[in-house]
Chain A
């Protein structure tokens, strides 16, 4: 007997919000019971809901929250291989393994994601240029497929299914468990250096000379035009070497004391993030950092997860929610497309409050996996409605023109034709998916919108 409850679901952007019948299995037999109880409306896994748009949503369908399927099943302290259920979070892994000297091989900008979500979106982190994506550290997945069979797939067994599941947005089946290899660390500390970059060209110079840092990312000001266009603060770091010791000091204590208060308990008013406040924020953030570079040893939490300290920060954007737009474009000598994107944003007057830029490495996993060699830019926009959607359509055209793509894990509005131009592998991916799920058991709103599964428009 499976239990379903009618409720609204949404992603991190809180746009869109859709009704669904939601189940929350706590054990294997309940997953199987829920699967047996599926109907024509389809089925989808939902992890911690940190994808921004509609990847983890299925209007009027049956959605399974995987968060309580969170058992760690085996760990090999010789090699770092961890076998765990798909609802285990990065936070769980950090809590368990950092004290023992291990770290997730790749981590996004929040620790509140499940490993299932990490593989389904084939997430990347600040170390993409060195270590690739999440899937590059996963050797095996246990997948509940549309036939009801549990298939263990890896490079030898059903390799096509394995590949399609990487970045497969939950549409090849429901992951039950996976094997991921953690990386050894000496301490929770990060040797970090921040560099103020004065414009886009300077960003690329600093990025090029950061080769001996395993982790890089840069905050970028998306408001300033002219000579200072693309200015920002470049952060680079590495897990601390054995002789380096850090100290959380006053900041650490303050953080613990303040933690319960750092919450956005209600929706922000619509005027909170306007042109002026975004401009001021960007100006202050940039000015606060002295010219040149600054070295420090910091705890991994503020380095990797600065926003996790403020719970529900997504509510600051108010009731209408927000959209994130993340693009990657191949390297161009004059960074023409990036400039065009930045210009389109500044001239639209719809500033992005938080924007980050990073150069990806060579790793490209194909299929629907997002990262490819080039530079990625992620932008948050309050939901301004139609004018914003029009701006994003304009950005799409620049990105397609440049041979780039946008990240499906953050998307809520891409058109199918544009998507196909961005992901030329989509047809091959869809063929594999259709072989394993000919009747369209697994669906999502994103999949229906982009023609990746049955029930599309």
Chain B
């Protein structure tokens, strides 16, 4: 079995990779920072005695996406699980000032994700097997002024995964959406929040387990499902006056 981790320099992604390697999978570690990806692959190989390779993946370089998958499969065999962990939170203020910034956030979180998922779906449907895990965000459940460029891109990604899940279900391919709340990573480091923050280790263990049980939509930490339920329930008339 072969796991492909995209955006592998994320701590969450690395920890998910650990879980799959521990279970015996070969792992391909794909990231923009190839030198770092190689260290991560080395670590997986030392810790779990599995074959692990590294290579370049840029969500924005959509022309290269299907080539990457061909390369991975030539080296490690058919991809049985693909983890899309890459994401770009951008900066809301900057995204408002510069469309180029907003576009990058949209393209990394949405366009790039669609591109690589379609390439994966083509391979997996041809074999009638596989799992795709998309790491989304609770920020995608409702647009808010503090991060709606990122939120809308993650929200669109969530909708896309719904459709893909619907399409691939009959083909024997599973699609899971993992909607994360606050996780203690580089993305959130130093942010003040009153809501408990999950460790990347716990988040990745939950994602790994849920993917094995073929869960459709995972919220982690799970209390976010309730929080977002409430937030989604607030009428727009009232919501537009709030600062959340």
Residues on A lying within 8 angstroms of B by beta carbon are 3-5, 24, 26-30, 68, 70-75, 82, 84-85, 96
**Complex interface: chain B residues within 8 A of A72 (CB):** 42-43, 46-47
Residues on B lying within 8 angstroms of A by beta carbon are 9, 11, 33, 35-36, 39-40, 42-43, 46-47, 185-186, 189-190
CB distance from A197 to the nearest CB of B (A): 42
Answer whether A71 and B43 are a contact pair too, CB < 8 Å, given A3-B189, A4-B190, A27-B9.
yes
Answer whether A73 and B43 are a contact pair too, CB < 8 Å, given A28-B35, A29-B33, A29-B36.
yes
Answer whether A96 and B36 are a contact pair too, CB < 8 Å, given A3-B189, A5-B189, A26-B11.
no
A3 CA to B35 CA in the complex, in Å? 21
Please state if B189 and A96 are interface contacts (CB–CB under 8 Å).
no
**Complex interface: chain B residues within 8 A of A74 (CB):** 42, 46
Please state if A96 and B46 are interface contacts (CB–CB under 8 Å).
yes
A75 CA to B40 CA in the complex, in Å? 14
Answer whether A75 and B189 are a contact pair too, CB < 8 Å, given A27-B9, A28-B36, A28-B39.
no
A26 CA to B46 CA in the complex, in Å? 19
Closest B-chain residue to A85, C-beta based?
Answer: B39
Closest B-chain residue to A25, C-beta based?
Answer: B186
Please state if A73 and B46 are interface contacts (CB–CB under 8 Å).
yes
CB distance from B17 to the nearest CB of A (A): 12
A26 CA to B183 CA in the complex, in Å? 15
24 A-B interface contacts by CB (under 8 A): A5-B189, A5-B190, A24-B186, A26-B185, A26-B186, A27-B9, A27-B36, A28-B36, A28-B39, A29-B33, A29-B36, A68-B11, A70-B43, A71-B43, A72-B42, A72-B43, A73-B42, A73-B46, A74-B42, A74-B46, A75-B46, A82-B46, A84-B46, A85-B39
**Complex interface: chain A residues within 8 A of B46 (CB):** 72-75, 82, 84, 96
**Complex interface: chain B residues within 8 A of A24 (CB):** 186, 189
Please state if B40 and A71 are interface contacts (CB–CB under 8 Å).
yes
CB distance from A43 to the nearest CB of B (A): 18
A-B contact count (CB 8 A): 44
**Complex interface: chain B residues within 8 A of A85 (CB):** 39
A26 CA to B31 CA in the complex, in Å? 14
Please state if B42 and A27 are interface contacts (CB–CB under 8 Å).
no
Please state if A3 and B43 are interface contacts (CB–CB under 8 Å).
no
**Complex interface: chain A residues within 8 A of B36 (CB):** 27-29
**Complex interface: chain A residues within 8 A of B39 (CB):** 27-28, 71, 73, 85
Closest B-chain residue to A82, C-beta based?
Answer: B46
**Complex interface: chain A residues within 8 A of B9 (CB):** 26-27
Given contacts A24-B186, A26-B186, A71-B42, 7 further A-B contacts (CB under 8 A): A5-B189, A24-B189, A26-B185, A28-B39, A72-B46, A72-B47, A73-B46
**Complex interface: chain B residues within 8 A of A29 (CB):** 33, 36
Closest 7 CB pairs of A and B: A5-B190, A71-B43, A72-B46, A27-B36, A71-B39, A75-B46, A73-B42
CB distance from B187 to the nearest CB of A (A): 10
Q: Which of A5, A26, A96 has most chain B Cβ within 10 Å?
A: A26
Q: Which of B11, B35, B47 has most chain A Cβ within 10 Å?
A: B47
Closest B-chain residue to A4, C-beta based?
Answer: B190
CB distance from A374 to the nearest CB of B (A): 38
**Complex interface: chain A residues within 8 A of B35 (CB):** 28
**Complex interface: chain A residues within 8 A of B11 (CB):** 26, 68
A26 CA to B36 CA in the complex, in Å? 10
A26 CA to B43 CA in the complex, in Å? 14
A75 CA to B48 CA in the complex, in Å? 11
Closest A-chain residue to B186, C-beta based?
Answer: A26
**Complex interface: chain B residues within 8 A of A82 (CB):** 46
CB distance from B128 to the nearest CB of A (A): 36
**Complex interface: chain A residues within 8 A of B189 (CB):** 3, 5, 24
A30 CA to B185 CA in the complex, in Å? 13
CB distance from A82 to the nearest CB of B (A): 8
CB distance from A341 to the nearest CB of B (A): 43
**Complex interface: chain B residues within 8 A of A26 (CB):** 9, 11, 185-186
**Complex interface: chain B residues within 8 A of A96 (CB):** 46-47
A24 CA to B187 CA in the complex, in Å? 11
A377 CA to B185 CA in the complex, in Å? 41
**Complex interface: chain B residues within 8 A of A68 (CB):** 11
**Complex interface: chain A residues within 8 A of B47 (CB):** 72, 96
**Complex interface: chain A residues within 8 A of B40 (CB):** 71
CB distance from A4 to the nearest CB of B (A): 7
**Complex interface: chain A residues within 8 A of B186 (CB):** 3, 24, 26, 30
**Complex interface: chain B residues within 8 A of A71 (CB):** 39-40, 42-43
Closest A-chain residue to B190, C-beta based?
Answer: A5
Closest A-chain residue to B36, C-beta based?
Answer: A27
CB distance from B79 to the nearest CB of A (A): 23
Closest A-chain residue to B192, C-beta based?
Answer: A5
Closest B-chain residue to A71, C-beta based?
Answer: B43
A84 CA to B39 CA in the complex, in Å? 10
A73 CA to B39 CA in the complex, in Å? 6
A87 CA to B33 CA in the complex, in Å? 20
A96 CA to B43 CA in the complex, in Å? 11
A96 CA to B21 CA in the complex, in Å? 13
CB distance from B156 to the nearest CB of A (A): 27
A174 CA to B216 CA in the complex, in Å? 44
A84 CA to B11 CA in the complex, in Å? 17
CB distance from A265 to the nearest CB of B (A): 15
A70 CA to B42 CA in the complex, in Å? 11
CB distance from A390 to the nearest CB of B (A): 41
A24 CA to B9 CA in the complex, in Å? 14
**Complex interface: chain B residues within 8 A of A73 (CB):** 39, 42-43, 46
